[in-house]
Amino acid sequence: MNSFADGKDGLNVSETDRSSLRVHDNRTGYSYTIPIHHNSINASDFTQVKCPSNGYHADQNDQGIRIYDPGYSNTAVSESEITYIDGVKGVIQYRGYPIEDILGKKGFIDTAHLLIWGKWPSDEEAIKLQKGFNGVQLPDQSVFNVIRSFPREGSPMGMMIAGLTALQSNQMDLIPAYAARNLYLGNADLVDQQIIKFMSSFAVITAAAYCHHTGRTFTNPRQELSYIENFQLMMGHVDHNTGLPNPRYVKYMEQLWILIADHEMTCSTAALLQTASSLPDVISCMVSAISAMYGPLHGGAIEVAYKSFEAIGSIENVQAKIDRVKAGKERLFGYGHRIYRVNDPRYVFIRQIMAEMQDEISNDPLLKIAFEVDRIAAEDDYFISRKLKPNADLFAALIYKAMGFPADFILPISLISRTQGFMAHWKEAMSGTARIWRPRQIYVGDLDRKMAE
């Protein structure tokens, strides 16, 4: 995009300027025309809008006027072909395919291939990808030792991060700084190899962390099982009669992993891409994403919501909790979303899965409380008028709880379901050009202060 200064002329808009933004700087009297592309403008085009020579000299800079947007609330940091979201209409599409058309027709391997490689796999490609996952060797024993060095009651997310950094230390030749050269930018073959290796190894590390945390015995994956079947097998979540994962739970987890596969530019995705812009290895990028997801304003909100449900105590206390929320005394975690102003489109399908798990849900007191909260909130004008809809990630977590996973391990499972999306974004970033993300700041402190004599 090329903008240009129009000088101090009038603001008449010609036919050629229809796809542009006219900006008039009242400080200088100059006008500028900024091209509009995909209903967006390039922030760099504003570098021509210079500050007058008088005034606070910290404002004088070569970058011209700056765009102030705390939290990136209306800033697009990249172009992407992976996921499209319309929060007003309640639309999610992967590579142009609506999720409602994908669910029930395609499986985890298909969706992962679509997100990462941009197309549905042929039968041969799907088999090759699954064999690729199963063909990755187990991490070195030192990785398991690092995980098991944690207190059992310690943070599972911390165990996973430590396991990943231990894995990283076993493959130093794949770290660009250590190799002293670029390894991944523009190197699609190596990127693809690392994606398959990472997704396989991360499932093992997550399962090993789960087994250590819960006191279970880790079970090695089997060649003939799918990615999700092996994930449940490694964690010891199997039918006691067959020694294999429950097919119902495999089906439900696969459906959830399709629904939660990617959600565009989330906080954790942005953290991954911020790190990726400096061109490190994929593990470094994922550690950034995991750390971002652990925060209570992002993925960690799931764990906070669970603890708030536990604090309610019983169904009889739910209305009192709702009343405190409406009075502004407490928050109701798991409700409201920065993107959606209608029901999260994933929520409809998650409710369908819940309907098939009524036996498990009816036996769990915590889930009864969660559903009573949902029932009251859905009928209360306070929530309706504020468009406070249930968060799909929270109710996906309720399904994991119904499957028998402890509340403090639901976030790690949600994280691994997002790995396919993270890998798609990393691959897309590595197919672009080298440009480190370096946001600006606005300095508002004192200048030119004198030291005391």
Nearest to 234 by CA among 261, 256, 212: 212
Q: Which stretch of DSSP H or E encloses residue 209?
A: helix 188-214
Residues 116 and 218: their CA atoms lie apart, in Å, by 29
Q: Does 393 participate in catalysis according to the annotation? A: yes
- Count of CB atoms situated within 10 Å of the CB of 59: 13
User: What is the torsional sign of CA 39, 45, 49, 55?
Assistant: positive
Nearest to 345 by CA among 133, 5, 145, 100: 100
Residues β-bridged to residue 33: 4, 22
What is the Cβ-side half-sphere exposure of residue 250, based on CA atoms within 13 angstroms?
16
Residues 413 and 237: their CA atoms lie apart, in Å, by 13
User: What is the crossing angle of helices 227-235 and 188-214, to 10°?
Assistant: 30
Residues 147 and 150: their CA atoms lie apart, in Å, by 6
Residues 323 and 152: their CA atoms lie apart, in Å, by 38
Residues 267 and 410: their CA atoms lie apart, in Å, by 19
Torsion of CA 127, 133, 135, 141, to 10 degrees: -170
Catalytic site residue from 262, 344, 374, 393: 393
Residues 247 and 122: their CA atoms lie apart, in Å, by 24
- Count of CB atoms situated within 10 Å of the CB of 236: 16
Catalytic site residue from 113, 213, 337, 425: 337
60's CB contacts (< 8 A; 6+ apart) are: 51, 53
According to DSSP, residue 93 is labeled E
As annotated, the active-site residues are 337, 393
